[in-house]
Amino acid sequence: AQSVTQPDIHITVSEGASLELRCNYSYGATPYLFWYVQSPGQGLQLLLKYFSGDTLVQGIKGFEAEFKRSQSSFNLRKPSVHWSDAAEYFCAVVPMEYGNKLVFGAGTILRVKS
Amino acid sequence: EAGVTQFPSHSVIEKGQTVTLRCDPISGHDNLYWYRRVMGKEIKFLLHFVKESKQDESGMPNNRFLAERTGGTYSTLKVQPAELEDSGVYFCASSQFLAGNGNEQFFGPGTRLTVL
């Protein structure tokens, strides 16, 4: 079935450590790709997006993501995590063949320990 | 510039009652979307308006849900009668197609609906 997969439901990292959140999609054509973050009590905030071009994209708050067509992946990274990064992260795609709606992964809850 | 706003932020109702959620998109955005996250599940698409027209309502769960966008501005989502499984967080998003922006959607804070 066509979907977006975030294999890690929870991740805990130490403050200052590096972070990688995984995302895979299964659609025929390369979709538009997004990462959103939801902090407690807040709405969804866009971290970064990929449509075309350079496969390494920079986002807000020091995050970056790399699109790998061969792996159908769009993993999110940050070199040094801050306690304020604790939140839930969602990978989402707009599949080209299904209109303009976003299809979300299940989300990854990031905990940061000091 | 004001973002997407949603009202109310929380709603607690009893099974069988009616609830109406409201979304005000970013001014000038023609596209308005409703999504829902039921506890423990993914955020799922409900429907998409372009101005006042329903472009895609393939995600609406059943006919107890009615969405409107009169005049192409704000939108309402009515649930009547509400059932226990309707509990969750309802998100609204808006966007405007521009060359190169991939139809980036801006989200509101959500309405948390609890049906008892």
pLDDT of B100 strictly over 80? no
Alpha helices in B12-113 (DSSP H): none
φ/ψ of residue A39, rounded to 5:
-85, 160
- Decide if B87 touches A, using CB distance below 8 A: no
Alpha-carbon gap: A55 to the closest alpha carbon of chain B (Å): 15
Contact between chains at A102 and B102 (C-beta distance less than 8 A): no
Alpha-carbon torsion B110, A46, A61, A37, what sign? Answer: positive
Scanning every residue of chain B, which has its alpha carbon at the shortest distance from the alpha carbon of A96? B102
Is B4 strand, coil or helix?
coil
Scanning every residue of chain A, which has its alpha carbon at the shortest distance from the alpha carbon of B108? A43
Q: State how far the Cα of A57 lies from the Cα of A22, in Å rounded to an integer.
A: 15
Alpha-carbon torsion B21, B26, B32, B37, what sign? Answer: negative
Confidence of residue B102 (pLDDT cuts 50, 70, 90): low
pLDDT tens digits, one per residue of A15-34: 999 999 999 999 877 789 99
Q: State how far the Cα of B103 lies from the Cα of B95, in Å rounded to an integer.
A: 6
For A25, the token pair is 């999609």
pLDDT tens digits, one per residue of A53-81: 889 999 999 999 999 999 999 999 999 99
Q: What per-residue confidence (pLDDT) applies to A30? A: 78
Question: Considering CB atoms only, which of B35, B42, B109 is closest to A106?
Answer: B42
- What is the average pLDDT across B27-41? 93
